[in-house]
Amino acid sequence: MPDVDVLIVGAGPVGLTARALLDRWGVRTVLVEKHSELSPFPRSRLLNVRSMEIFRQLGIDRRVAARAFAPEYGRVRFRDSFTEPDFASAAMIGVNAPIAESPVLGAVTSQDRLEPTLLDAADSPIRFGVELAGLAEEPDGVLASFGDGTSVRARYVLAADGANSTARELLGIGTVGPGALGLTTTVMFEADLRQRCADAPAGVYVTAFGSILPMYPEGGWAWIGQVPEGADHREPLSRTLGDGLPFEVSRVQRWTVNAFVAEHFRQGRVLLAGDAAHAIPPAGGLGMNTGIADVHNLCWKLAGVVQGWARPGLLDTYEAERLPVAHLTLRQAVANAQLLIQAQQKRVEQLAGDDAGGEIELPWSEHYFAQLGLVLGVAYGSEAGEPGTDYVPSTSPGHRLPHVDLGGGRSTLDAVGEWFTLFVEDPAAAGWAELAPSGPLPVRVERLSGGYGTLLVRPDGHIGARWDKRVLGADELLRAQETISAAGLV
């Protein structure tokens, strides 16, 4: 028998979220990370509302929010330099203020603040300083070997080991897309800037020379921009700050902006997630969030196959459902980058004319980069279609269960967990009590009035089946459960 059920490779936000999800299912895991500790760099900084909904399901959303910035920092401001007034501004929808479509707020927080919370969300083993070196598939599992000479057998491998994924390389899985877009430099620095942004907080201040980001609520800053090889990073940082503000550099990191999607998310018993499956440019903050949604989709399926209540073919639906989302997200991120450039170009044109102090019209709506449809509107299935600019709630199979207040601060999304959830208008109707224990996975029955129909919802919060009638026969519900446990949707 394998040593563990699932080997997780990579201790970034995606791998750590997968570890926490599988721990809730009682799946035996071990996580390996090639670095000796969690990343000390801020890196990804935006958690959208969908990621926070997933963290709410894990019971850690309040801890994440407690270490994040206040909601008013959920805004992007465009300036000629940090010390000058805005020439444009845009809210991060779902982050800067509550929205009716979700019970949670997204958050501006640094990855190095998020990862320790995710690490504490599970007790399963984690080994730092262990680098994946080989993968050999066996009849009932995978033998993974590491650079330190150790090995482990696992029934499945979940590879979340980044854009330069060793697992993807070992499997020979190619990528499609632009590829490496260029080198970017992050400079961590200290400066007395708090008073200058007190009346105009933001998660990002964008200038033509680079972007300034507040790192933590208690202090610390970062500059992100492009520095030619061999050039001094201090000069563009100084121009971005303006006014000759003094600063002290603490760390510098150069990294590659990648843009690609893996040709496949699964090969045999190895499944790719996060940046290993899709490298998304940072504009709009979509990359980490897409990876968190990946493992939310995947982990209940892995649990079902490992524990025997789902058929092995259910794992095929992971790629079928998430690969199109990755391509959509990559296109949106590229469009976001173009919108940023357009805003800066409009300002350059304005400065070249006679209206340097006038307002500039943003090339997008107040809905930050118009991506809420992608964040909450992703649907699975052959008839899902592409989500629009705005989110339109739907109870059709494949869609995320809409947020409805059930009373007492409880959302429909809070009724979802390690079970199937059946939403009905009248739980007291004849037959519901007998239906609850049936099927391959327990069913919890919840009241949902308002004409939504009868909904059978998967553990990841996506609707698996919908009926217009109020009462089902036991056989009909059982067939639906079995179909979802084999094919994902009815």
Output the pLDDT for position 212.
94
Domain at 405-487, CATH class: alpha beta
Closest C-alpha among 32, 129, 480, 55 to residue 296: 55
Q: 330-367 as b/e, with b when 16 or more CB fall inside 10 Å?
A: bebbbbbbebbeebbebbeebeeeeeeeeebebbbeeb
Cα 419 to Cα 403: distance, rounded to the nearest angstrom: 18
Cα 287 to Cα 285: distance, rounded to the nearest angstrom: 6
Cα 372 to Cα 94: distance, rounded to the nearest angstrom: 8
Q: What's the distance, CA 451 to chain centroid?
A: 31
The CA-based angle 155-158-163, given to 5 degrees, is 150
Question: The dihedral of CA 353, 356, 359, 363: what is its sign?
Answer: positive
In order along its 490 residues, the chain shows pLDDT tens digits of 569 999 999 999 999 999 999 999 999 999 999 999 998 877 788 999 999 999 999 999 999 999 999 999 999 999 999 999 998 888 999 999 999 999 999 999 999 999 999 999 999 999 999 999 999 999 999 999 999 999 999 999 999 999 999 999 999 999 999 988 888 899 999 999 988 888 999 999 998 889 999 999 999 999 998 888 778 889 999 989 988 889 999 999 888 888 999 999 999 999 999 999 999 999 889 999 999 999 999 999 999 999 999 999 999 999 999 999 999 999 999 888 888 888 878 888 887 887 777 777 787 766 777 789 999 999 999 767 788 888 999 999 999 999 999 999 999 999 999 999 999 988 877 566 555 555 678 889 999 999 999 999 999 999 999 999 877 777 888 899 999 999 999 9
Q: 273-311 as b/e, with b when 16 or more CB fall inside 10 Å?
A: bbbbbbbbbbbbbbbbbbbbbbbbbbbbbbbbbbeebbe
DSSP notation for 452-478: --EEEE-TTSBEEEEESSS---HHHHH
Q: What is the DSSP letter of 436?
A: T
pTM recorded for the entire structure: 0.95
Q: 4-69+109-178+259-321 adopts what CATH topology?
A: FAD/NAD(P)-binding domain (3.50.50)
List the domain boundaries for the chain: 4-69+109-178+259-321, 405-487
Output the pLDDT for position 122.
98
